[in-house]
Structure 1
Amino acid sequence: MVACAVLLVMVGAVARAENAGLREKTTKPIQLHPDNPHYFLWRGKPTILITSGEHYGAVLNLAFDYKKYLQTLETLGFNLTRTFSGAYLERFGDFNIQNNTLAPARNQLICPWLRSNEPGYVNGGNKFDLTGWDPDYFKRLRDFVGQAGKCGVVVELVLFCPFYEESMWKLSPMNAANNINGIGKMKRTEVYTLQHPDLLAVQDAMVVNIVKELKEFDNLYYEICNEPYFGGVTLEWQAHIAQTIAKAEADFDVKHLIAQNFANKYQKISDPNPLVSIFNFHYAKPPDTVTDNYGLNKVIADDETGFSGSEPKAYRIEGWDFIIAGGAVYDNLDFSFTVDHEDGTADINAPGGGGPALHRQLRILSDFINSFD
């Protein structure tokens, strides 16, 4: 009887250890596959990320029902969404996009920084205090990433974005006109450089706080900056932000991947930053950028599509071509996801594609490529 009891205790201990080991393996953040780093390993399975997602405002736009959106992605069989942090936003009609989720209505912006008691933010509400954090924002961000994880969706969190036009810079909390700290008096083309230590400190602090808040999530990686080849963004600044992420995660048992956006369409990458594991491109057709950078043994992504009309054919072909060439991410920018149409059924009035027909077609690609071991 004693021997049986001891045996049961030992078996139970082994089972608990195995279960703990399984939990540890399955809760590691998405990472490069150790046997083939051109692809991902996520939750114990080789993974390719394919999606048709909204225009990056799911978190920062308070009017957007992200739970409905994420549930829709799950139903459609998609496993990625891309979202901006809130340091950048757009106006209604920018880039000829109607119903733009990245252009919140007045008083509908939420971002990392705390609102002050001083009125005067250009898009409604009080100005921002760049030394304080908005707890409601981080609650929303954490819930968004958590809900995405439950839906089997990976989040690419884009930390920064260049200001393509002066009107966009005028909307940013980092602009001195919109904060009480007197920070952000430079030209928009100097925001993402190392020239202004006060603003750089604000950017570093934002990155560190986001990274620490999202420490435990396994369905997450960071992109340094969207389209940094516009608006004066320097390579030195990008390297600095990558280092800031790495330092913030230095004590983490497992680190999150970092992505860097290199070019629209094509670039032969030389001397890549060793902290960067995902090489992002936009409008990468034909997929020559996969072939010519394959020897770097990193994930290569077609991270945004568009400007090929609204019919599904062009985006379906782009997706198949890129993935079959050896890419690991295909992210179609989908304007059928809007406020009040978070199920992806809105009429498209923007320079891109999306909608139910394309969703069905990309589901075939996703099911096919992820059926392989």
Structure 2
Amino acid sequence: MNPPPSASIFRGSLFALAALIVSPSTMFSEDTPPLALHPGNPRYFLLRNQPAILLTSGEHYGALLNADFDFETYFETLAADGFNLTRTFSGVYCEPNGAFKITRNTLAPTEGNLVAPFARSDSPGYANGGNRFDLTRWNADYFERLHAIMESASRHGIVVEFVFFCPFYNDAMWNLSPLNPNNHVDPLPQPENPNDLWTLDRGGLYLEIQERLIRKVCAELNRYDNLYFEVCNEPYQRHLPQDWHDRMAETIREAEAGLPNQHLISWNVANHGDGEDAIVHDPNPAYSIFNFHYSNPPDEVANNWHLGKPIGDNETGFDGQKNRPYRTEAWEFILAGGALFNHLDYSFAAGGHEDGTFEYPDKQPGGGNATLRKQFAALKRLVESCPIPKLHPVPDLVKSGVPKDARVQVLGDDTAHWLLYLTDTGIEKNVSLELDLPAGNYELQWIDPATAEPVKTETREHDGKAPLSLPSPALPEDLALKIEKRAG
């Protein structure tokens, strides 16, 4: 998007920016090309002819497979909060109630309410209620629901990440999978290890089922532009082989080769802290998006900058329930140059809380609430107020003044726009930052990320002969700064 007029940015609330940005629901149409890499800067996206980042605070990936989940209310909520992304699993993997200590887990449908891509047979005995599956026949109700989800997401300006597969973390997940021979009527052997399904040398006939599912979904969804594919969620958690993963990505490309549209493909590379495994070398050219989980601090952005493609932080959690850790994770990641951020928000639950109002218990392994979503939305609007294709990390802008143990991220275009985020365990006093800015007249706005409100606005003239000294307001946790050079 083009940046709004500079004067408007510094009048009143940051939320005034929303009126200057085209509503996603009016932007979106099935007649435009699908989500793509931006031709001027392939580290960001082109979404319906507009430069974009993808940012959301979404449910735990069960909107499609959980029959109880009201996706229409969910998308209405995401759109109202200003988000443009959701992540959904295909239905070959689901979770039991209580998995990972999650209460009201959307990936854990209640008895009889799993919506899978395969038709039910006439034979009873599925582990979570209802008849067993017939892997040779498609479930018409599943694809009807899938199209309804895609169309609703499109109306609300939401890109859908469709995730085909997921390793089985333990036997409880395998026991619920439609692919488990106990849950279907097809003459397929019980694998020695359930995760052998995701291998080329031991997958056997299950590989044919996986590839057939990919071809079917690609054909069904080809017309949608608000879509990209992810091969597998967290393949590294059970050491799934890369040759299998690449084969599935190539199957997606082959399935779409003769179709009108070709969609981006994501590789979920690693969790933060996985060392060398979190640095990508010579990836298969099928991949266009490189997603990580729990990227805090955002080392994965700089470590994979050589790829020249969008880098995402696609899952958060296991860092308490307070807003601060996840707010910091989002602001740092995006201002480090990331193009995608997806917070796992446990306030979304099936059965009446698809509007993000579920009050989860203390044991829930993450957070999410309306206040946190407001903080994320402020970040998204701030980035959208800048010329996105020209943005890149500017780590050398701050010459001094960063408090000990604090971290600073700077995103800018080198000429007229800079965004700065400073986080610390507690910035109790003013700090004075020394910024290496070119000569010019500047509009400066300090923002409290916790309230999403500006706390100090000023104009400064700078001769460029020495770093510009900027005293900050005192904030207890973190602060952001928008710098804009005035024309003339």
The corresponding residue for 2:447 is none
Indicate the SS of the match to 1:86: coil
The corresponding residue for 2:376 is 362
Gaps of 5+ in 2: 1-26, 388-488
Separation in 2 of the partners of 1:254 and 1:58? Answer: 24
Q: 1:173 aligns with which of 158, 178, 181?
A: 178
Any conservation in 2 of the 1:282–1:304 contact (CA below 8 Å)? yes
Instruction: Report the residue type matching 1:177 in the other structure.
Output: N
Q: 2:72 aligns with which of 67, 76, 83?
A: 67
Separation in 1 of the partners of 2:43 and 2:349? Answer: 33
Indicate the SS of the match to 2:257: coil
Separation in 2 of the partners of 1:68 and 1:188? Answer: 36
Runs of 4+ that moved beyond 6 A: 22-25
Separation in 2 of the partners of 1:143 and 1:26? Answer: 18
1:263 aligns with 2:273: no
Report how far residue 273 of structure 1 moved.
1.1
Any conservation in 2 of the 1:190–1:232 contact (CA below 8 Å)? no
1:302 aligns with 2:302: no
The corresponding residue for 1:52 is 57
Separation in 2 of the partners of 1:124 and 1:250? Answer: 39
Separation in 2 of the partners of 1:24 and 1:254? Answer: 14
Separation in 2 of the partners of 1:238 and 1:110? Answer: 25
Q: If each structure's helix is expressed as a fraction of its own residues, which one has the higher value? A: 1
TM-score (norm 1): 0.92
Instruction: Report the residue type matching 1:202 in the other structure.
Output: I
1:344 aligns with 2:349: no
Q: If each structure's strand is expressed as a fraction of its own residues, which one has the higher value? A: 2
The corresponding residue for 1:19 is none
1:220 aligns with 2:231: no
> What do residues 323-370 of structure 1 show as CA deviations (whole Å, max 9, x unaligned)?
000000000000000012000011123101101110111110111112
Any conservation in 2 of the 1:70–1:153 contact (CA below 8 Å)? yes
Report how far residue 42 of structure 1 moved.
0.6
The corresponding residue for 1:12 is none
TM-score (norm 2): 0.71
> What do residues 210-236 of structure 1 show as CA deviations (whole Å, max 9, x unaligned)?
110001000000000000002242111
Instruction: Report the residue type matching 1:334 in the other structure.
Output: D
The corresponding residue for 2:323 is 312
1:272 aligns with 2:277: no
Instruction: Report the residue type matching 1:146 in the other structure.
Output: E
Separation in 1 of the partners of 2:328 and 2:239? Answer: 33
Instruction: Report the residue type matching 2:371 in the other structure.
Output: A
Separation in 2 of the partners of 1:129 and 1:192? Answer: 20
Q: Percent identity over the alignment?
A: 48
Report how far residue 254 of structure 1 moved.
2.9
The corresponding residue for 2:197 is 191
Separation in 2 of the partners of 1:217 and 1:290? Answer: 29
Separation in 1 of the partners of 2:29 and 2:262? Answer: 14
Any conservation in 2 of the 1:174–1:183 contact (CA below 8 Å)? no
Assess, with a 3 A threshold, how the Cα gap between structure 1 residues 25 and 161 changes in structure 2: closer, same or farther: closer
Q: For CA contacts below 8 A with separation 6 or more, give which structure has more relative contact order.
A: 1
Gaps of 5+ in 1: 1-21
Cα RMSD (Å): 1.4
Assess, with a 3 A threshold, how the Cα gap between structure 1 residues 23 and 160 changes in structure 2: closer, same or farther: closer
